[in-house]
Structure 1
Amino acid sequence: MTPDRPATPLAAFARLPRSYRDRNIAHSTIDAFGRAHWLLTERPPEPRREKPYDAVVVTVGDGPPYETHLSALRAAFPQLDALPDGGFVVADTRSRAQGEHVQVFDALGRLSWTFRVGDGIEHLLTDEAGDLWVGYFDEGVYGDDELSWPGLRRWSHTGDPLWTYHPANHGDTISDCYALNVSDRSAWVCAYTEFSLLEIGPDQGVRAHANQVRGARGLAVHDGRVTFFGGYEHERDRLVIGELTDTGVAAVAERRLVRPDGTDLGRRRVVCRGPRIYIQEDPFTEWTVLDISAG
Structure 2
Amino acid sequence: MQQTALVPYAHLPRAHHDRQVLTSTVDVFGSAHWLLAERAPRTGGDVPPFDALVVSVHPGGDIELTELSAVRARRPRLDRLPDGGFVVAAPRTRREDDADQVQVFDVLGREISSFGVGDAVDHLLVDASGHIWVGHFDENPEGIRRWSATGRLAWTSDGARIPGLFDCYALNVSRAGAWACAYTDFPLVEIRPDRPGRPVRVWANRIRGAKAVAVHDDRVVFYGGYGEERDRLALGELTETTVEPTGLGLLTLPDGSAPGRRRVVGRGSRIYVQAEPYTAWGMFDLDG
Cα deviation digits, residues 213-266 of structure 1 (max 9, x gap)? 000001110011000000000000001100000121000111110111222221
Q: C-alpha separation between the residues in 2 aligned to 1:228 and 1:19? A: 35
Written as runs of structure 1 = structure 2, the 5 A alignment for 1:220-239 is 220-239=214-233
Q: C-alpha separation between the residues in 1 aligned to 2:137 and 2:6? A: 27
Partner of 1:210: 204
Which of 47, 50, 54 lines up with 1:53 in the alignment? 50
Change (3 A) 1:171 1:43: closer
Q: C-alpha separation between the residues in 1 aligned to 2:259 and 2:51? A: 32
Per-residue deviation, 1:63: 4.2
Q: C-alpha separation between the residues in 1 aligned to 2:70 and 2:194? A: 37
Residue 13 in structure 1 maps to residue 9 in structure 2: yes
Per-residue deviation, 1:150: 2.2
Q: C-alpha separation between the residues in 1 aligned to 2:269 and 2:47? A: 39
TM-score, normalising length: structure 2: 0.95
SS in 1 for 2:149: coil
Q: C-alpha separation between the residues in 2 aligned to 1:31 and 1:109? A: 17
SS in 1 for 2:28: coil
Aligned letter for 2:167?
Answer: D
Partner of 1:190: 181
**Percent of aligned pairs sharing the same letter:** 53
Q: C-alpha separation between the residues in 2 aligned to 1:283 and 1:151? A: 30
Q: C-alpha separation between the residues in 2 aligned to 1:169 and 1:92? A: 26
Aligned length: 281
Unaligned runs of 5+ in 1: 142-148
Q: CA RMSD in A?
A: 1.1
Partner of 2:172: 181
Change (3 A) 1:130 1:169: closer
Partner of 1:99: 98
Q: C-alpha separation between the residues in 2 aligned to 1:92 and 1:276? A: 26
Written as runs of structure 1 = structure 2, the 5 A alignment for 1:1-295 is 5-47=1-43, 48-61=45-58, 62-97=60-95, 98-100=97-99, 101-139=101-139, 141=140, 149-166=141-158, 168-203=159-194, 205-294=199-288
Cα deviation digits, residues 91-136 of structure 1 (max 9, x gap)? 0010121322100000011111100001010000000011000000
Change (3 A) 1:72 1:169: closer
Aligned letter for 1:277?
Answer: I
Per-residue deviation, 1:169: 4.2
Per-residue deviation, 1:46: 1.6
Q: Which runs of 4+ in 1 moved over 4 A?
A: none
Aligned letter for 1:158?
Answer: T
Aligned letter for 2:50?
Answer: Y
Contact 2:89 2:103 in 1 (8 A): yes
Per-residue deviation, 1:201: 1.9
